């Protein structure tokens, strides 16, 4: 499996190009159906506003669905959190038997 890093610039450029692409398709279809530039404009504005709301709704619904999500045992490990007391005791014990601690 090839692993590559997506830079912020590349991701931003892709977002913009996809928006232009999607708007153009919507514009062409709307114009073919309506033959009115005013209607094309209205459809574009309304469609995009409605899309924002439904995209949010769709995301929240998927967020609650656990299916297909592999949970790694470290996923809840807080990087900034101190070790648990029981973890510390185990480490202390491991270091003690090798003479590193009292």
Partner 1 sequence: LKRAFRTIIIGLDGVPFSLIKELSEKQVMSSTRNLIKKGVFKQMDSSIPEVSSVAWSSIITGKNPGEHGIFGFTDISERTYQLSFPNFYHLKVPPFWEKRVGQRSIIINIPGTFPVRPLNGVHISGFVSLDLERSVYPPSLISKLTKLNYQVDVDSSKAHKSMDLFLNDLDKTLKARIDAYRLLWKEPDWQNFVLVFTGTDRLSHFLWEAYENENHLYHSYFLDYFQRLDKIIGEIAERIFEHDQLILLSDHGFELLEKEIHLNFFLKELGFLKIKPETKGDLTEIEFGTKAFALDPGRIYINLKDRYPKGSVKKRDYHKVREELIKAFSEWELEGKKVVKKVFKKEEIYQGPFLNQAPDLVLISNKGFDFKAKIKIKELWTKGIFTGKHTQDNAFLLTQRRVDEDIIGPKPSVFDICKIIEAKNSN
Contact criterion met (CB below 8 Å) for 101 and 92:
yes
Helices (H), 1-102: 8-34, 37-64, 85-96
How far is CA 40 from each of CA 4, 30, 35, 54, 92, rounded to the nearest angstrom?
40, 5, 8, 21, 70
Least CB distance to partner 1 at residue 4 (A): 7
Answer yes or no whether residue 45 interacts with partner 1 by CB under 8 A.
no
Answer yes or no whether residue 10 interacts with partner 1 by CB under 8 A.
no
Binding mask 49-78 for partner 1 (x = CB under 8 A): -----------------------xxx--x-
Positions in the binding site for partner 1 (CB under 8 A): 1-5, 72-74, 77, 79, 82-83, 87-88, 90-95, 97-102
């Amino acid at each position: 499996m090839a692993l590559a890093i997506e830079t912020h610039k590349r991701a931003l450029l892709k977002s913009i190009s996809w928006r232009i692409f999607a708007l153009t398709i919507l514009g062409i279809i709307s114009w073919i159906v309506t033959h009115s530039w005013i209607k094309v404009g209205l459809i574009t504005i309304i469609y995009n506003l409605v899309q924002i709301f439904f995209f949010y709704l769709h995301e929240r619904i998927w967020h609650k669905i656990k299916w297909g999500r592999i949970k790694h045992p470290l996923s809840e490990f807080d990087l900034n959190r101190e070790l648990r007391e029981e973890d510390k005791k185990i480490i202390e014990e491991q270091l003690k038997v090798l003479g590193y601690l009292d």
